[in-house]
Amino acid sequence: MSKFRQAMHTPAIILLFLARQVTYGGDLLTRLEEELPHNLIDSPSLYRTLKKLEEQGAVKYRWYKQTERRSVKYYKLTDMGYEKLAQFYEDIQLRYDNLALFIQQYESLKENKDD
């Protein structure tokens, strides 16, 4: 059971990274790969999630011309994006507390089994 459900927290993680820095998709993907201990967010899921967040009003974008032929879409959090980020924080904190209890009790079981 090495994979976990990334989709549940993908929007939260993307909002967190965008709260730290306005950026474009490629840079965001690189930062996710470099910084997340267990990154399961690939390019298609990143752009699908950004599109959903756009539709929900949590992020907005602006095109910036990089070269004569190429423009890049930079993403930024909106006020609603910051609200959603706070909601994700509350939800993740509750899950974290439950998971911490699970880990503590599981490790205790392992120790008792080894005795």
Domains for the chain: give ranges and CATH numbers.
10-114 (1.10.10.10)
Is residue 18 a contact partner of residue 59, using CB atoms and an 8 Å limit?
yes
How far apart are the C-alpha atoms of 44 and 25, rounded to whole Å? 11
Output DSSP code: residue 24. Answer: E
> What is the predicted pLDDT for the residue at 50?
97
> What is the predicted pLDDT for the residue at 6?
54
> What is the predicted pLDDT for the residue at 112?
81
Residues of the chain with pLDDT under 70: 1-7, 114-115
Beta strands in 30-106 (DSSP E): 59-65, 71-77
Residues in the chain: 115
